[in-house]
Structure 1
Amino acid sequence: MREIKFRGRRRDGVWIYGDLTGINHNTNEGSWCYINGRGVSKKTVGEYTGLHDKHGTEIYEGDILELVNEDGERIKAICKFGNRRLRTEYGTTIDIQCFYFQIGDRKTNPVVFNYKGMHDLDIMEVRGNIYENPELLLDCDCTEKDCESCKQYFADSI
């Protein structure tokens, strides 16, 4: 059984990890939750997936992961939790709630036996998260806050 824990970011930028102890406290400064009794921004709260990347780093909702595919292309994915529609071997479809990786407009789960004969998690690496590193999702290699391509992402970051 996986460990149930959360992380969230305080106003001063420090990440808090642990038990979700309170939710939906709305103030003039936004919506807040509590992890281990400490206030964190509700929009940064993510659950631990129980999975680790190739370096042993814990993977949380909102993490940006990267892997290199068989063509040498770097693929970026966002870890999310939600509905995922799957087709069974008999052709029927089922909807499940699970952690998944969003790559563009596709939802996928880690492949157990990939092109390298390895599990995808053995080649995936946590590169950052959507709150602190939204620029990682852009095709632009820039990290400047005044870059026209990046402005919408930086505007949404905390």
Structure 2
Amino acid sequence: MMIPDNFEFYDGKIGWIDASKEAGPGNDGCPDQFEIMQYTGLHDSNGKEIYEGDVLRDENGDLYRVKFDGGQFQPLLRYGGTQVAIESIADMADYSSVIGNIYENADLLEERNGRNL
């Protein structure tokens, strides 16, 4: 994950991303090579920044995916094949921790052993 230096917009869409060398070789600034994640402005119980797409674990061991929807960030809990918004992300940030994200750790949200993961 990295913080880009600059975005260029064309017709209201991101057309180019200036990224420092940390983006790695072969990344020429084309936005199709990047997943844009929005920062929620919040920190988890360990002081780590929370971004859209992060996976949070609460004090009960339940896992949530952070999503921006309807003009706000929401923690989504998986019940079977459905993900349900439970509460405000601001309300749960202090008692949960970021354990990964859906881009690098998609398997975190798979259902295992009957638990909602």
TM-score interval for Structure 1 and Structure 2 normalised by the shorter chain:
0.5 to 0.7
Q: Which has more helix, going by share of residues?
A: 2
- Contact 2:58–2:95 (Cα < 8 Å) also in 1: yes
1:106 corresponds to which letter in structure 2? V
**Helix, strand or coil for the counterpart of 1:17?**
coil
Letter in 1 for 2:89: P
Say if 1:106 and 1:20 are closer, same or farther in 2 by CA, change over 3 A. Answer: farther
- Picking from 82, 95, 110, the partner of 2:89 is 110
Structure 1: where are the runs of 5+ without partners?
1-14, 26-32, 84-96, 113-119, 142-158
1:56-108 CA distance string (max 9 Å, x none):
00001100011123xxxx1111111111xxxxxxxxxxxxx111111122113
SS at match of 2:108: helix
User: What SS does structure 2 have at the residue aligned with 1:131?
Assistant: coil
RMSD: 2.2
More strand by share: 1
Greater relative contact order (Cα 8 A, min sep 6): structure 1 or 2? 2
Amino acid at match of 2:69: G
The one of 2, 18, 39 aligned to 1:48: 39
Q: Equivalent residues in 2 for 1:1-150 (5 A)? A: 15-18=1-4, 21-22=7-8, 23-25=13-15, 34=17, 37-38=18-19, 39=29, 41-42=33-34, 44-69=35-60, 74-83=61-70, 97-104=71-78, 105-107=83-85, 108-110=87-89, 112=91, 120-140=92-112
Tell me: CA distance 1:128–1:56, structure 2 relative to 1, closer, same or farther (3 Å): same
Does structure 1 retain, via aligned residues, the 8 Å contact 2:7–2:14?
no
How many residues are matched? 93
The AA in structure 2 aligned to 1:109 is S
Q: Structure 1 residue 129: deviation in Å?
A: 0.3
Among the aligned pairs, what percent are the same residue?
32
- Structure 2 runs not aligned, ≥5 long: 20-28
Greater Rg by CA:
1
